[in-house]
């Protein structure tokens, strides 16, 4: 009974984790099956651990070690798949984003293992009802703990005005790029939207300086609002450029949906990538330099 | 594996002769034609036309 409840609730937890994240999941039915199957394996391994220990079958626990090698495969599988799809994306995710997604996929299997372990242990000791309750509590606790920061937490995002000085595109004081063709500039005047991201502190400034993080923002915004470009018009690739004096970021995008509020919302909800995280304010030199 | 060239000047378009060396140059009769040629080249090369500010467009693959 303990094992069964651990397996079932663990697998359900894997499904729940997949559902709640629309961005990170490409939602192909076959990929869903892949990850559910792996979630099932993880749940089984987690669920048998406690009953095995109680039955003094200590060798069974070594299976957990086997599992970790298996799940490392998941990471490289996701990395390879998303990497090979990069070329066909209008706005690529960038390596940093892909690495973050792949790592999340790996980590979620360990989390499933943990949920299954807790569930089976509690079921074993207190019965099924408490087992189910413990699974729900653990799942919500994990959701809370694993929730990374989003852009809204580190920077103020607001819409801004852009202008052309000759062929050069500026958003307030941030130079974005040089666009030579008048007809392209015309389309920009008609359709483009500009944003400014103002980092709250020095840590945030360094996060936004990361080119991979900026690529992730461009990708997510383009995905949600649609992008007015095709393979032969690279001029309309969304760009985020930095004012090196202030660390402020200017973003220009030519969306299909010209809704500024939705654009700000989309950018605010982009996750802060683990690889972009940096914390200069935690160091003495960083704090001293910040004032 | 596929290899693509990026960050490279694919061509230049200008009205003035003897201004450019080292890259394929396209000469236009007037500014209007120059613009048309720059559009055409950038579409064909899937590249971006940049205005150098001295009567020269460069077509750069990014």
Whether pLDDT at A192 is above 70: yes
Q: What is the pLDDT of residues A40-51, one digit of tens each?
A: 999 998 888 888
Q: What is the pLDDT of residues A86-112, one digit of tens each?
A: 888 889 999 999 999 889 888 888 999
Tokens 């950018």, residue? Answer: A267
pLDDT confidence bin for A27, thresholds 50/70/90: low
Whether pLDDT at B4 is above 90: no
ipTM, interface predicted TM-score of the complex: 0.87
Does B50 contact A180 at a Cβ distance shorter than 8 Å? yes
- Nearest by CB to B46, which of A179, A181, A231? A231
The residue ranges of every structural domain in chain B are: 8-61
Average pLDDT over residues A271-284: 88
Q: Which residues of B touch A231 (CB under 8 A)?
A: 46
Q: Per-residue DSSP letters for chain B? A: ------SEEEEEEESSTTS--SS-EEE-SSHHHHHHHHHHHHHHHT-EEEE-SSSEEEEEE-
Helix (H) or strand (E) holding A53: helix A29-54
Tokens 């629309």, residue? Answer: A22
Kindly state the percentage of chain A with pLDDT values over 70. Answer: 96
CA distances to A85, A165, A242, B38 from A170, rounded to whole Å, are: 32, 7, 11, 22
- Nearest by CB to A180, which of B38, B43, B46? B38
Q: Compute the distance between CA of residue B38 and CA of residue B10 in angstroms, rounded to an integer.
A: 11
Give the pLDDT of residue A21: 55
Give the pLDDT of residue A206: 93
Does B51 contact A167 at a Cβ distance shorter than 8 Å? yes
Give the pLDDT of residue A121: 92
Q: What is the DSSP letter of A58?
A: G
Whether pLDDT at A25 is above 70: no
Give the pLDDT of residue A238: 95
Q: How far is CA A144 from the centre of its chain?
A: 15
Does B35 contact A179 at a Cβ distance shorter than 8 Å? no
Helix (H) or strand (E) holding A196: strand A193-199
Residue A182 contacts B, CB cutoff 8 Å = yes
- Nearest by CB to B62, which of A167, A231, A234? A234
- Nearest by CB to B43, which of A178, A179, A232? A232
Q: Which two tokens stand for residue A155?
A: 């920077």
Rounded to the nearest integer, the mean pLDDT of chain A is: 89
Find the range with the poorest average confidence among A55-59, A115-119, A239-243, A270-274.
A55-59
Which residue of A165, A180, A239 to mutate against B (max B Cβ within 10 Å)? A180
Does A180 contact B48 at a Cβ distance shorter than 8 Å? yes
């Amino acid at each position: 009974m303990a094992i069964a409840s651990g397996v079932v609730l663990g697998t359900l937890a894997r499904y729940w984790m997949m559902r709640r994240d629309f961005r990170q999941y490409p939602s192909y039915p076959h990929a869903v099956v892949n990850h559910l199957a792996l979630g099932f394996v993880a749940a089984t391994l987690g669920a048998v651990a406690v009953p095995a220990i109680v039955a003094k079958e200590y060798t069974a626990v070594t299976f957990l070690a086997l599992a970790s090698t298996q799940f490392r495969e998941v990471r490289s599988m996701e990395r390879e798949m998303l990497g090979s799809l990069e070329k066909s994306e209008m706005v690529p995710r960038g390596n940093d984003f892909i690495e973050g997604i792949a790592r999340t996929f790996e980590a979620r299997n360990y989390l499933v293992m943990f949920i299954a372990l807790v569930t089976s242990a509690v079921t074993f000791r207190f019965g099924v009802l408490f087992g189910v309750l413990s699974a729900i509590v653990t799942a919500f606790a994990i959701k809370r703990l694993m929730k990374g920061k989003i852009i809204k937490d580190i920077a103020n995002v607001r819409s801004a005005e852009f202008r052309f000085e000759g062929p050069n595109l500026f958003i307030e004081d941030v130079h974005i790029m040089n666009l030579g063709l008048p007809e392209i500039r015309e389309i920009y005047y008609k359709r483009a939207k500009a944003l400014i991201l103002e980092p709250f502190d020095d840590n945030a400034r360094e996060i936004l300086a990361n080119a991979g993080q900026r690529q992730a923002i461009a990708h997510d915004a383009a995905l949600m609002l649609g992008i007015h470009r095709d393979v032969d018009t690279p001029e309309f690739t969304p760009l985020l450029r930095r004012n090196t004096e202030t660390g402020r970021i200017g973003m220009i995008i030519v969306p299909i949906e010209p809704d500024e509020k939705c654009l700000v919302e989309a950018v605010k909800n982009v996750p802060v990538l683990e690889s972009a995280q940096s914390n200069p304010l935690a160091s003495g030199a960083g704090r001293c330099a910040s004032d | 594996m596929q290899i693509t060239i990026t960050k490279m000047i694919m061509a230049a378009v200008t009205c003035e002769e003897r201004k450019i060396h080292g890259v394929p140059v396209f000469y236009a009769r007037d500014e209007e034609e120059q613009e048309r040629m720059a559009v055409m080249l950038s579409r064909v090369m899937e590249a971006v036309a940049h205005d150098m500010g001295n009567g020269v467009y460069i077509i750069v693959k990014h």
